[in-house]
Structure 1
Amino acid sequence: MNPVAELVTSFQELVAQVPEIVRPFVVMLAGVIPFVEGEGAAIIGVVGGLSPVVAAVAAAAGNFLSVLLVVLGGSRARSAAVSRREARVGARAGAVPAPSVGGLQVPETERTMSDGEPHAMGARPESKGRRRLRSLLVRFGVPGASLLGPLVIPTQFTAAVLVASGVPRRWVLLWQAAAIVVWTTVATVSVWLALQVVAG
């Protein structure tokens, strides 16, 4: 038996100690974790001996559940922030409405840096992953940013950035669901095929 097959067998023996009915829920919980997400959870499930279909469905469901919570929470937070800002602006005499870019309002605290990138005054600079995601959003729109976003940052972070940018939550959820299904399916099929070849 080759070392990979031994490792897989040992992992499956460990998983076998968990009741069979609980295993999909463990995979679902793994899918909730950023950086593990649907892809990683599906791989864990398939290597652990679950049916690829069960592993993929459980992993995708967990990943989507976490994205749903992020989108609903982020949407409420953004609505509250916009309402507070509008109340402050409305209270000032002769206030100028906030500028908009592509139909999305730019917060009053944002200023344009010399390189043309928006930068919130007094805030930390954006991470490289978030800058790449914003670039994807500008180039490919919400569908492209959602489908390519997992290559840059976790889906939960992608969803949070999209909602904070003012994208309607239904649109975010639709394309995040599509991205989760695509990437979880790719990961599940890939690991299943790899196990057939390597571990037999």
Structure 2
Amino acid sequence: MSNPISDLVLGFQDLVSQVPVLVQPLIVAVAGAVPFVEGEGAAAIGIVGGLHPVVAAIAGAVGNFLCVLVVVLLGARVRTAVVTRGGRTEEPPTARRQKVMRAYERYGTPGVSLLGPLLVPTQITSAALVSTGVPVKTVLVWQAAAIVLWTTAVTLLITGVFAFAG
């Protein structure tokens, strides 16, 4: 049985190797926008596909951040619409929301943003944060930091492995 994420990554790697060099960063950026692939996975796709590691990292991070930006802005609008809707009684929080709130209370926005990618995609972390009322600017700043950090770390790791392997 095949893994959908593995199939998707292999598909992106194949596509990167088949398109002209000038288009390759765009493919990597699109890959970075995909949850569970993220900036770090996209950078790996680009590097394996033959892109310079810096170009691959920037493209993957930009694609990841642009997707997070859209999610955060839409999530903030949805939250505003729900909160300002009159006559609505507040429903008890779901188990997932309670889990997010516990993590937020324990680690704050920086911790949830920086550690979140170990468990869930940045898009989901961002939506969860903004849905709880964390300001959009705060979510975007910390998600950008997390994307840059994780994408850089994976890029350096893969580049080091390739240099070591010769």
Q: Give the TM bin, normalised by the shorter chain.
A: 0.7 to 0.9
Note the C-alpha offset of 1:18. Answer: 1.1
* 1:60 corresponds to 2:61: yes
The correspondence for 1:145, drawn from 101, 108, 112, is 112
Question: 1:177 aligns to what?
Answer: 144
Find the aligned partners of 1:13 and 1:154 in 2 and give their Cα distance. 23
5 Å-filtered alignment, 1:18-57, equals 18-57=19-58
Letter of the 1:126 counterpart: R
The aligned counterpart of 2:9 is: none
Summarize deviations over 1:96-119 as a string: whole Å, max 9, x none. xxxxxxxxxxx7111xxxxxxxx3
Counterpart of 1:194, as a letter, is V
Match of 2:96 among 117, 123, 126: 126
CA distance in 1, matches of 2:105, 2:151: 25
Structure 1 residue 44 displacement after superposition: 0.6
Amino acid at match of 2:87: R
By how many angstroms is 1:16 displaced? 4.2
Q: Does structure 2 conserve the Cα–Cα contact (< 8 Å) formed by 1:27 and 1:58?
A: yes
- Is the strand fraction higher in 1 or 2? 1
1:38 and 1:184 in contact (8 A); partners too: yes
> In the TM superposition, what is the alpha-carbon distance from 1:14 to its structure 2 partner?
7.2
Match of 1:70 in 2: 71
Structure 1 residue 17 displacement after superposition = 3.0
Conserved in 2, the CA contact under 8 Å of 1:12 and 1:49?
Answer: no
TM-score using structure 2 length:
0.86
Shift in alpha-carbon separation, 1:77–1:20, aligned structure 2, 3 A: same
The letter for the 1-side match of 2:25 is P
SS in 1 for 2:40: helix
Q: Is the 8 A contact 2:29 2:61 kept in 1?
A: yes
Rounded Cα–Cα distance in structure 1 between residues aligned with 2:14 and 2:60: 21
Q: Distance in 2 between matches of 1:12 and 1:35?
A: 15
**Closer, same or farther: CA 64–12 of 1 in aligned 2, 3 Å:** closer
2:160 is aligned to: 193
Which secondary structure does the structure 2 equivalent of 1:49 belong to? coil
Letter in 2 for 1:88: G
Gaps of at least 5 residues in structure 2 are: 1-11
Corresponding residue number in structure 2 for 1:168: 135
User: Aligned letter for 1:108?
Assistant: E
Shift in Å at residue 52 of structure 1? 0.7
Against the structure 1 CA distance between its residues 147 and 83, is the aligned structure 2 distance closer, same or farther, given a 3 Å change threshold? same
Give aligned-pair identity as a percent: 54
Q: Aligned pairs, how many?
A: 155
**TM-score of the superposition, structure 1-length normalised?**
0.72
1:81-128 Cα deviation digits (max 9, x unpaired): 0010xx216xxxxxxxxxxxxxxxxx7111xxxxxxxx34xxxx439x
Instruction: Give the greater-gyration-radius structure (CA).
Output: 1
